[in-house]
Structure 1
């Protein structure tokens, strides 16, 4: 198994057409539900939560927000889920991308382990075979090859971008800015920022990281200070509570609304042209993720979105579909 992956420094920045103004993208990691606390298994999962997709899509459509559904292998093999996603595509702006959960995507040639759950850690031929299985299944289900990719658990590796470019992908969203997953063998994104950049062979791909913002009085010290605080027990929490420094990702999962609203303000103030939001599809139904355990949590999930979208609208930040984004930046 390869050592934890650390991406090279960001390449050429993507030049965002000024005429479009600030935009935001919503990714939904459209995946099976499983016990996040249990060891990885190839069998103990389900796709019942995808039954919540139609109602959720109607909500976002009512707000004028297209969705980038990053679909994994168990979901694309579920006819009911595929039917719901076909209906979602009828809005003309939502799109289907690929999300690779290595442990439930054939062929199953690797032993199960936390490190092997990061697809980018697998040998090149194994990662390639799994990517082909997923890409072909999505092509068969939706009539076109996906152009956008996300590695499950953000598990990109040294071979991933080359494999994606060879298969016609145009955008990767596997980087979670300022995060570090080395604890169980995952990649190290501590030095990766939020700006989209060109990457892969011949700069064939766009990398659009999941937006993560530092807020607080010491936010200018950002990532270096935050990661030093990680060496001191409870220091990060103390700094966040004191309003000094907090790391905030643009997701309703584990990120309180007031913190995210401040993060959006900071990101816009710093001139970030595209904000990238994300959540997991099992959070659309109670009981499948730690973030939405019951009906009250689900109601809070939707209040979160109402608050965020209200702020974005007030600041003139418009939604954009992923295909439109790819086409806009070439």
Structure 2
């Protein structure tokens, strides 16, 4: 998919806006606390001041919690946008066994995936007065029916594919062959895929996915290559991605001609103690420092934020 020339090179920030849960425990349909959402308005302000235009992809616990909705309404009033993220284990109707395989919504029977999507889409539309247009499957769990279900419901962008990652060992999809460029899932319906950006950095990064797979078969091979600057896989997120690696990944992505760099993080990371990535105040300070440095590099490279509206207007121009 070729973005319009005057669209320039842009970046997006899609936030997985979700409940808090124990990342080391089994999936639990009763884990629906959303207390970390209280930090969202201040976090949104800081991200926007840095140059971001966040889209908050919200799941069912967030979409149905009054305090969380109030926080999001404040964010929307200050330039934010709301989309959809489907965590099936907390999203009615819950008819499936709660297990790792079924945590990927695309693994569910099509009728059940559709019913969950309808429930969540309707809740978001009721809370915010407009239907969501951007979707992410929880755990990046897109399935064979997902694109059709999204197109039928008027969604315009899916961001369920995490470039260069493989979740097959847990029963999920394999995205190792997916690159960083946007592409059509259904051009007639105007539904595009915008993968989460992930690039290979280092002196032998030209080896790409084939070399990275080979290194995975060698004990500690990937870690050794990353530590010695030979090759690393770097996703566009502050969560478990060192700042220097992220800055180099941005330079690489721009050098490879990626027109839309897609960044992400989990909303509970805005409050210490709710994710493995932000455990205390020092981690939170580093989290915002990461964004400050990333936004500064993007500004120097004249890479501006793309809002939800910017993206959809550009898609309409491409499809016309």
User: Who is 2:242 aligned against?
Assistant: 256
Q: Does 1:76 align with 2:63?
A: yes
The answer to whether the Cα contact below 8 Å between 1:248 and 1:263 also exists between their aligned partners in 2 is yes
The answer to whether the Cα contact below 8 Å between 2:32 and 2:90 also exists between their aligned partners in 1 is no
Q: Does 1:311 align with 2:294?
A: no
**Structure 1 CA distance for aligned equivalents of residues 307 and 160 of structure 2:** 18
- 2:116 corresponds, among 111, 114, 130, to 130
The answer to whether the Cα contact below 8 Å between 1:165 and 1:201 also exists between their aligned partners in 2 is no
User: Who is 1:276 aligned against?
Assistant: 262
**Structure 1 CA distance for aligned equivalents of residues 188 and 260 of structure 2:** 23
- 1:238 corresponds, among 224, 227, 233, to 224
Give how far 1:202 is off. 3.8
SS at match of 1:279: strand
- 2:42 corresponds, among 44, 47, 55, to 55
Kindly report the root-mean-square deviation, in angstroms, between the aligned alpha carbons of the 2 structures: 1.1
Give how far 1:201 is off. 7.2
SS at match of 2:180: coil
Q: Could you list the runs of 5+ residues in structure 1 that have no partner in the other structure?
A: 1-13
**Structure 2 CA distance for aligned equivalents of residues 183 and 150 of structure 1:** 20
Q: What TM-score, normalized by structure 1, do the two folds share?
A: 0.94
Q: Does 1:33 align with 2:20?
A: yes
Q: How many residues align?
A: 316
- 1:42 corresponds, among 26, 29, 41, to 29
Which 4+ runs in 1 deviate beyond 4 A?
A: none
**Structure 1 CA distance for aligned equivalents of residues 300 and 65 of structure 2:** 39
**Structure 2 CA distance for aligned equivalents of residues 258 and 233 of structure 1:** 25
User: Who is 1:320 aligned against?
Assistant: 306
User: Who is 1:152 aligned against?
Assistant: 138
SS at match of 2:142: coil
C-alpha distance after superposition, 1:141-171 (max 9, x if no partner)? 0101111100010000001001001111111
Give how far 1:81 is off. 1.1
**Structure 1 CA distance for aligned equivalents of residues 72 and 4 of structure 2:** 30
**Structure 1 CA distance for aligned equivalents of residues 92 and 230 of structure 2:** 46
Q: What TM-score, normalized by structure 2, do the two folds share?
A: 0.97
User: Who is 2:102 aligned against?
Assistant: 116
C-alpha distance after superposition, 1:297-329 (max 9, x if no partner)? 000000000110111111111111022112112
The answer to whether the Cα contact below 8 Å between 1:161 and 1:201 also exists between their aligned partners in 2 is no
Q: Does 1:15 align with 2:15?
A: no
The answer to whether the Cα contact below 8 Å between 1:15 and 1:329 also exists between their aligned partners in 2 is no
Give how far 1:64 is off. 3.4
SS at match of 2:217: coil
Q: Does 1:290 align with 2:276?
A: yes
C-alpha distance after superposition, 1:30-64 (max 9, x if no partner)? 00010011001100341000000011011122223
**Structure 2 CA distance for aligned equivalents of residues 130 and 45 of structure 1:** 16
User: Who is 2:204 aligned against?
Assistant: 218
Q: Does 1:101 align with 2:98?
A: no
SS at match of 1:206: strand
The answer to whether the Cα contact below 8 Å between 2:53 and 2:306 also exists between their aligned partners in 1 is yes
